[in-house]
Structure 1
Amino acid sequence: MTGNRRRSRRDWVVDSLLFLAAVFGSLLLYDAGDRDPVSSGLLALDFISGMVLCFALWFRRRWPVQLAILGAIATTYSDAAGAATLILVMSVTIYKPLRATLWVFLANAVSIVIYTEVRDKPEPWGVTIGFSVAIYAAVVGWALYIRSRRQLLQTLRDRADRAETVARLQAQQAQLRAREELAREMHDVLGHRLSLLSVHAGALAYRPDASAEEVGGAAEIIRASAHQALQDLREVIGVLRAPVGELPQPTFADLPVLVEDSRRAGLPVELDFDADGPLPDHVGRTAYRIVQEGLTNALKHAPGEAVRVRVVGAPGNGLEVEVVNPAPNRRTGEGQGLLGLAERAALVEGRLEHGRTPAGDFRLAAWLPWPA
């Protein structure tokens, strides 16, 4: 503790109690030493020195070492200074390095030897020195215990603060990862919906001879897709506004519905689905997203062309997902959607591959683990 810190209410209480205890102890020691064969002048100096050191205790937080040395000097002749000096030695031990404690202890040990010569005690000097050193040693030992306990409590507080900081940082990182996941969800969900809109809008633009029934059907699909896209966007914005939350996730059971939506959009989809069993949710969502991305890309790059979707697997053997469609104008570069799918597959310890087949079709395939 340093003297630059403002004294708290607890500090005032502790300092007041120590001051009163020092005054009471000084009076007792002075009364006991009043019977020594010394001059009245030395007795008066004894009393004055003891009271001065008691008042000096109010400054022990600012100058503990200096006041403890002053106490060692005063105890060479003063009994009344003993109580305040013990408190000063204890303060040095608690607040200052151990080297300072050692020097103060040695200074007080020397003062005890000088004291036995100045006061001419009737007891043998060995008894006086031994008793005094034992008291100082007991005070220093108690102060070292208090010091170690305070250091332990401070260490625990520091650890708690660090743990709180780490937890806060981990929460922030988790939130960032959630935001990244939301970005992927926005790409997957809205990309698919908007692809359906684009296909049907393009069909209306390039088929001016379409019948009223065909125009009405396409317009109804456009309306339904736009409405669903707005609903998805509202859900995303709602999650982003909330401190904690997740976007509603599709399930593996929704995959046939996804295929049927693409068929209604005019995309011929051939589905080979043979996967029954307790598939983990995170694996099922990954399979759903892979099929969704494949259908979305087919709508963008090969509208109206037949698409083959194969989802086959069993517990213990893994799940195979494959989407194949003609892609005469498809570029070979990887888009953000395919990069995101590769990350999704890696997160569930699966594999993803894509590229052209020897027949010129585009193939998106993945193997995902399915525990037995």
Structure 2
Amino acid sequence: MSAVPAPDNPWLLPGALVAESPGTGRRSTRDWIVDGVAFGLAVSYLLFAAWDLRQPQPYLTATGSGDPWLFRLDLLLGLVCCALVWLRRRWPVAVALVALPAGVLSVSAGIAIVILLFTVAVHRPFPVAAAVNAAHVAVAPGYYLLYPDPDLNLPGSVLFTGIILGTVLAWGMFVRARRQLIVSLRDRAHRAEAEQQLRVGQARQLERTRIAREMHDVLAHRMSLLSLHAGALEFRPDASREETARAAGVIRVTAHQALQELREVIGVLRAGQPTSGVVDTGPGPGDRAAEPPQPTLADLPGLVDESRQAGARVSLVSRIDHAQALPAGLGRAAYRIVQEGLTNARKHAPGAAATVAVTGRPGDGLTVEVVNRRPVAPAAAIPGAGTGLVGLAERASLAGGRLSHGPTESGDYRLAAWLPWPT
């Protein structure tokens, strides 16, 4: 038989049901108490039967059953069955079969045998328990031949014994089914709790991955602007004081914006982490309210103006029908694609002109395209993780669209994405 998981509360499920294989030897506090009560009942009945057998009973004497040796054998078998009560949890079937001779020769073992059969019904499948019960019913005629009932004939006595043992079997099977149901419900609750924790962990990981992607898109854009302005100051040491001051001011503002955005992202990440001694319960209902407003397609002209102020030559072509009906998520994805495209253009093609084209309508989808000319200056050594295009491809895929990038026949570099726009 397969092992049943041990319960957290031993009073709810006795340790005897923890494993159905013999030889476990595990017994809870409740089991000790139950076994003590069962042993006490068995011994009490043995003492009552011993006292009763000492009284004059002509029907026993008539059958020769009142002999002292049989009385002593009766008590001996009764004591053995009472001792077997302590072993019934480890070997329920074997102990019940060992008690078969007592079922024929001993009156004082009656309650002990009932306890042994009940244990078999609780801890073994129905076919096994029914077979053991049938064996005890089969030896009942020998018992009634030795100890006849003055009020019932032999068939009636055997039938009465069968009814008693059948009731014990049914009661034991009911207890077994109830305990298995409790174990099943507890196991199901544990699985549901584990699955819930897994879903919470997956949701937290997905959310942090999304935040990391946003961090890359935003900070890469800001850092590339800083690098561009710093490079201009480096390569033009003869610039006028006004130009130097203006470039330094742009660097200061851009650095401030980058730091502010970094603080916001880190604040969101920390919101889901546990503090010392506090269990992390995951993002709460108000966690998203702490995030800054997300960009939309309406912020695209401002993004292009930032690049122009940094000295990049960027042109914007926007032909969108029913722009007010554009979903916010779709506009944010398009904004991030353009942002990454301009960042890559500043990194790998400094000084080259770039064209941003955004077209679309409901039903046809939204097309975003960033094309930069061949570089006219050596590419700046701006470090990068190399995951920007990978993140864009994932973003487009999650939106149900597709992304393509690579050089064109004329040698320009083209980044294009198509995003579905339902009607």
Find the aligned partners of 2:50 and 2:134 in 1 and give their Cα distance: 24
Counterpart residue identity of residue 117, structure 1: L
Unaligned segments of structure 2, at least 5 residues:
1-15, 274-281, 380-384
- CA shift at 1:207, angstroms? 1.1
* 1:261-318 deviation digits (Å, cap 9, x = unpaired): 2222222332233442243333222111101011111222333433222223333332
- TM-score normalized by the length of structure 1: 0.87
Structure number with higher helix proportion: 1
- CA shift at 1:219, angstroms? 0.5
Counterpart residue identity of residue 339, structure 2: Q
Q: Residue 208 and residue 18 in structure 1: after superposition, are their counterparts in 2 closer, same or farther (change >3 A)?
A: same
Q: More displaced, 15-24 or 108-117?
A: 15-24
Q: Residue 309 and residue 102 in structure 1: after superposition, are their counterparts in 2 closer, same or farther (change >3 A)?
A: same
Q: More displaced, 11-20 or 216-225?
A: 11-20
Give the SS at the match of 2:370: strand
Counterpart residue identity of residue 317, structure 1: D
Q: More displaced, 110-119 or 148-157?
A: 148-157
Q: More displaced, 192-201 or 69-78?
A: 69-78
- CA shift at 1:327, angstroms? 2.8
Give the SS at the match of 2:116: helix
Partner of residue 303, structure 1: 350
Find the aligned partners of 2:295 and 2:25 in 1 and give their Cα distance: 61
Q: More displaced, 175-184 or 362-371?
A: 175-184
Q: Indicate which of 46, 67, 70 corresponds to 2:98.
A: 70
Partner of residue 226, structure 2: 197
1:293 paired to 2:340: yes
> What are the within-5 Å matches in structure 2 for residues 25-174 of structure 1?
35=57, 36-37=59-60, 38-39=65-66, 41=68, 42-43=70-71, 45-47=73-75, 49-50=77-78, 52-98=80-126, 100-122=128-150, 123-174=152-203
Q: Residue 226 and residue 59 in structure 1: after superposition, are their counterparts in 2 closer, same or farther (change >3 A)?
A: same
C-alpha contact (below 8 Å) 2:126/2:173 kept by paired residues: no
Q: More displaced, 288-297 or 243-252?
A: 243-252
Q: Residue 48 and residue 310 in structure 1: after superposition, are their counterparts in 2 closer, same or farther (change >3 A)?
A: same
* 1:74-129 deviation digits (Å, cap 9, x = unpaired): 12122231222111111012113455424422331232122122223333110111
Q: More displaced, 271-280 or 110-119?
A: 271-280
> What are the within-5 Å matches in structure 2 for residues 19-30 of structure 1?
19-23=39-43
- CA shift at 1:21, angstroms? 4.2
1:327 paired to 2:374: yes
- CA shift at 1:171, angstroms? 3.3
Counterpart residue identity of residue 311, structure 2: G
C-alpha contact (below 8 Å) 1:267/1:305 kept by paired residues: yes
Counterpart residue identity of residue 273, structure 1: S
Q: What is the RMSD of the two structures over their aligned residues, measured on CA atoms?
A: 3.0
Q: Indicate which of 277, 288, 294 corresponds to 1:250.
A: 294
Find the aligned partners of 2:46 and 2:361 in 1 and give their Cα distance: 89
Q: Residue 277 and residue 32 in structure 1: after superposition, are their counterparts in 2 closer, same or farther (change >3 A)?
A: farther
Give the SS at the match of 1:15: helix
> What are the within-5 Å matches in structure 2 for residues 251-266 of structure 1?
251-252=295-296, 253-266=298-311
Partner of residue 393, structure 2: 342
C-alpha contact (below 8 Å) 2:130/2:169 kept by paired residues: no
Unaligned segments of structure 1, at least 5 residues:
none
C-alpha contact (below 8 Å) 1:71/1:84 kept by paired residues: no
* 1:216-252 deviation digits (Å, cap 9, x = unpaired): 1111111111222222333343444433457757331
1:15 paired to 2:35: yes
Q: How many residues align?
A: 370
- CA shift at 1:45, angstroms? 4.2
C-alpha contact (below 8 Å) 2:117/2:133 kept by paired residues: yes
Q: Residue 136 and residue 183 in structure 1: after superposition, are their counterparts in 2 closer, same or farther (change >3 A)?
A: same
Give the SS at the match of 1:75: helix
Find the aligned partners of 2:304 and 2:294 in 1 and give their Cα distance: 13
Q: Residue 335 and residue 4 in structure 1: after superposition, are their counterparts in 2 closer, same or farther (change >3 A)?
A: closer
Find the aligned partners of 1:4 and 1:351 in 2 and give their Cα distance: 60
Counterpart residue identity of residue 390, structure 2: L
Find the aligned partners of 1:302 and 1:51 in 2 and give their Cα distance: 99
